[in-house]
């Protein structure tokens, strides 16, 4: 893995603008992006996921399993506050400590946001909707295989779904 800067990496796991391996956010990078987006205006977790996906041109969208733990961490660090509003939705706002942290890391935050704009252009030959669907599929496979062990019958059914998907793609 070659870090461009702390918080910005390429070459690991995850989606990249070229459709291959490449982490969009390195260590601490997502925290800065979320803080900046929340500093721009208070937001719900879903809004943050959508905003990041939009800024990356649909080539990558962080999962709730990444966003919500990071939001919890930011709250525990005292950088954000969370207020419940109707329907169990949580609205995140930046605190003074969060503003200070963001100011101390302004150059990196700006670089990350600029890089997100650069990676937002769709890769040639790989439409963003296909990249998104593939990432969703890979995540569903990982989550299912990380859960309880498959029975013999479930393993056969799982393989059948994968084989059927491959056959369907070959016909397109």
* Cβ-based neighbours of 91, under 8 Å, separated by 6 or more: 42, 43, 44, 82, 83, 84, 85
Cβ(53)–Cβ(61) below 8 Å:
yes
Cβ(21)–Cβ(11) below 8 Å:
yes
pLDDT digits (tens, 9 = 90+) for 81-96: 999 876 778 999 999 9
Give the residue, 123 or 133, on which the prediction is more confident: 133
Mean pLDDT of the chain: 78
Give the residue, 122 or 117, on which the prediction is more confident: 117
What is the DSSP-derived secondary structure letter of residue 88?
A: G
Residue 15 confidence (pLDDT) above 60: no
Cβ(7)–Cβ(26) below 8 Å:
yes
Give the residue, 98 or 23, on which the prediction is more confident: 98
pLDDT digits (tens, 9 = 90+) for 34-89: 999 999 999 999 999 999 988 888 777 888 988 999 999 999 999 999 998 767 78
pLDDT at 119: 57
């Amino acid at each position: 893995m070659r870090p461009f800067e702390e918080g910005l990496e390429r070459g690991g796991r995850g989606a990249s603008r070229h459709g291959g391996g490449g982490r969009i956010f390195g260590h601490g990078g997502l925290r800065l992006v979320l803080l900046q987006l929340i500093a721009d205006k208070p937001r719900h977790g879903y809004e943050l996921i959508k905003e990041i996906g939009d800024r990356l041109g649909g080539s990558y969208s962080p999962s709730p399993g990444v966003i919500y733990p990071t939001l919890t961490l930011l709250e525990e660090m005292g950088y954000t506050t969370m207020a419940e509003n109707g329907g169990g939705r949580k609205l995140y706002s930046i605190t003074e400590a969060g503003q200070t942290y963001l100011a101390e890391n302004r150059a990196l935050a700006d670089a990350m946001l600029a890089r997100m704009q650069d990676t937002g252009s769709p890769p040639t030959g790989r439409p963003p909707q296909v990249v998104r669907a593939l990432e969703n599929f890979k995540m569903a496979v990982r989550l299912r295989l990380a859960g309880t062990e498959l029975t013999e019958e479930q393993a056969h059914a799982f393989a059948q779904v994968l084989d059927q998907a491959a056959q369907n793609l070959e016909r397109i």
